[in-house]
Amino acid sequence: MEAKLNVAVFISGGGTNLQSLIDAASSPEFPARIALVISSSKKAYGITRAENAGIPALILRKKDFNSDSDLSSAILEALKEHSIDVICLAGYLKLVPKEIVRSYRNRILNIHPALLPKFGGKGMYGMRVHQAVLESGERVSGPTVHVVDEIYDNGEILAQREVPVIPGEDPESLQKRVLEQEHRVYPEVLKRICEEIQSGKR
């Protein structure tokens, strides 16, 4: 079996998708290990999830740095120090700095709680997405896993899972059902991407 790739997970909140990746990566057959967690908030419960799993966690907040380039440098330094091969965004609410996108081109993944290209872009995250889906009258929603580039929710779509919208439901109900699919599809896509990297296809 090939050596496992090192994955960094970027978070801003509770980290349920982080947990799904940690759980998947605990399997000996999984081609990657979660080697680092970077949070944009010191209050993120995902930090506790990382600590519980014995994974190093760093809090790198924009307001703690003099400039965007200083923050980018600190993130890149941490990624290099932990020999990171792939980055997964899991509820990370910041735009990934261009320097990092360039350094990890086609190796940064994100999961979005709607069927892109609908209901994406700046400001479309969390419950706002589900509210917008319901207000639009859409009959189907679901998560999208995509490659990250310099624009919010813009990169190549890698996988989507459809979740029917139940008439009369509220955003919390829809979120719960979409989240169940997020926790399934994200580890599957990460596994596939890591196998493609190992085989030289990506």
Provide the pLDDT for residue 154.
93
Examine residue 10 and state whether it is found in any structural domain, yes or no.
Answer: yes
Provide the pLDDT for residue 1.
63
**pLDDT 10s digits, 129-162:** 999 999 999 999 999 999 999 999 999 999 999 9
Amino acid residing at 97: P
Burial, 69: exposed, middle or buried (Cβ in 10 Å; 0-12, 13-18, 19+)?
Answer: exposed
Residue 85 makes CB contacts below 8 A (sequence gap 6+) with 5, 6, 7, 32, 107, 194, 197
**pLDDT 10s digits, 170-196:** 999 999 999 999 999 999 999 999 999
DSSP SS3 for 193: helix
CATH number at 109 reads 3.40.50.170
Is the model's pLDDT at 2 over the cut of 90?
Answer: no
Interval 25-31 mean pLDDT: 97
Taking residue 57's Cβ as centre, other Cβ atoms within 10 Å add up to 20
Examine residue 202 and state whether it is found in any structural domain, yes or no.
Answer: no
What is the chain's alpha carbon radius of gyration, rounded to the nearest angstrom?
16
Tell me the pLDDT band of 78, cut-offs 50, 70 and 90.
very high
Is the model's pLDDT at 20 over the cut of 70?
Answer: yes
Is the model's pLDDT at 202 over the cut of 90?
Answer: no
Tell me the pLDDT band of 108, cut-offs 50, 70 and 90.
very high
User: Is residue 130 flagged as an active site residue?
Assistant: no
Going by C-alpha positions, the residue among 59, 13, 56 that lies closest to residue 33 is 56
Residue 12: which domain range? 5-197
Tell me how many domains the chain contains: 1
Interval 84-90 mean pLDDT: 98
Is the model's pLDDT at 111 over the cut of 70?
Answer: yes
CA distances from residue 190 to 34, 87, 103, 104, 106 in whole angstroms, order as listed: 11, 10, 18, 15, 12
Kindly name the residue from 112, 130, 146, 183 that is annotated as catalytic.
Answer: 112
Examine residue 192 and state whether it is found in any structural domain, yes or no.
Answer: yes
Provide the pLDDT for residue 19.
98
Say what the pTM is. 0.96
DSSP character string of 33-68 = EEEEEEES-TT-HHHHHHHHTT--EEE--GGGSSSH
User: Tokens at residue 113, please?
Assistant: 């709680």
Tell me the pLDDT band of 64, cut-offs 50, 70 and 90.
very high
Examine residue 40 and state whether it is found in any structural domain, yes or no.
Answer: yes
Provide the greatest CA pair distance for the chain.
Answer: 49
Whether 108 and 147 have beta carbons less than 8 Å apart is answered as: yes
Question: What sign does the dihedral 31-36-40-42 (CA atoms) show?
Answer: positive
